[in-house]
C-alpha cells in the first residue's frame, strides 16, 4: 500500500498517536529520572524540571480546594468535551491537508495524565480524572523587575519572564493554535 493511498483519517490518527506517544514517553522519562520538584539546568535560559501541575496549561490553577476537587473534575470533563468536538470536527478538517494535529494530540496527552496518573503514581494520591499533569520545560529567559499587574502571569514567582513550566502536550496545543491563527485564519469563519 502506497502512502498516497492511505485514507486521510488514518494519516491523522497515526500522527495523533505518534504525537501522544512522544508526549507520554517524555513525561514518564521525567517522572522516573528527575525527582519531584527537581531540575536540571541545560543552559542558563533552559531547565528541565519535574513539576506535577494540578491545573490548566502552563501551571495555571483551577482548584476548588475541597475534599473533592471539583475544579479538576470540571477541567477533565471540559477536556473530554473538547476532544470529542475535535474528533467530530475531523470530518471537516480532513478536507484541509495542512490541518494541525497538535490540538487533538495535546488535549489527549494532558487528558491521559489527568485520567490515569492519579491511579498509576502513588505519590499523587489522586483518583480517576483527578491526577496531576507532569510538566518539565522551563525557560527563565530574563528577570523582569517591574511587571505591570495585567502581565504578571508571564513572570514566575522568582521574577523571570516566561516563568511557566509546561509539557510537550502544552507545546503541541500552543503551536497548533498559533499556526491556525497565522496561516489558517479563514478556518474560524
pLDDT at 98: 61
Neighbour count for residue 93 (Cβ, 10 Å): 19
| C-alpha to C-alpha distance for 179 and 185, rounded to whole angstroms | 9
pLDDT at 9: 72
Residues 6+ apart with CB under 8 A from 174: 57
pLDDT reading at 161 higher than 60: yes
Query: Would you please indicate which residues are annotated as catalytic (active-site) residues?
Result: 135, 170
pLDDT reading at 48 higher than 60: yes
DSSP for 47-73, please give it.
EEEEEEE-SSGGG------SSS-HHHH
Average pLDDT over residues 150-176: 78
pLDDT at 91: 64
Report residue 173's pLDDT band, with 50, 70 and 90 as the boundaries.
confident
pLDDT reading at 34 higher than 80: yes
pLDDT reading at 185 higher than 80: no
Amino acid at each position: 500500500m502506497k502512502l498516497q493511498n492511505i485514507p486521510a483519517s488514518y494519516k491523522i490518527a497515526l500522527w495523533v498517536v505518534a504525537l501522544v506517544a512522544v508526549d507520554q514517553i517524555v513525561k514518564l522519562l521525567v517522572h522516573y529520572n528527575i525527582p519531584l520538584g527537581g531540575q536540571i539546568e541545560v543552559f542558563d535560559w533552559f531547565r528541565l524540571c519535574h513539576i506535577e501541575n494540578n491545573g490548566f496549561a502552563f501551571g495555571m490553577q483551577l482548584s476548588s480546594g475541597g475534599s473533592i476537587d471539583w475544579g479538576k473534575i470540571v477541567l477533565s470533563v471540559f477536556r473530554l468535551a473538547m476532544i470529542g468536538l475535535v474528533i467530530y470536527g475531523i470530518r471537516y478538517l480532513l478536507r484541509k491537508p495542512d490541518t494541525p494535529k497538535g490540538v487533538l494530540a495535546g488535549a489527549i496527552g494532558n487528558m491521559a495524565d489527568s485520567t490515569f496518573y492519579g491511579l498509576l503514581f502513588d505519590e499523587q494520591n489522586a483518583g480517576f480524572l483527578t491526577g496531576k499533569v507532569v510538566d518539565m520545560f522551563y525557560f527563565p529567559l530574563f528577570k523582569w523587575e517591574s511587571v505591570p499587574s495585567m502581565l504578571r502571569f508571564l513572570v514566575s514567582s522568582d521574577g523571570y519572564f516566561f516563568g511557566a513550566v509546561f509539557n510537550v502536550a502544552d507545546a503541541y496545543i500552543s503551536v497548533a493554535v498559533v499556526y491556525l491563527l497565522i496561516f489558517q485564519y479563514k478556518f474560524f469563519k
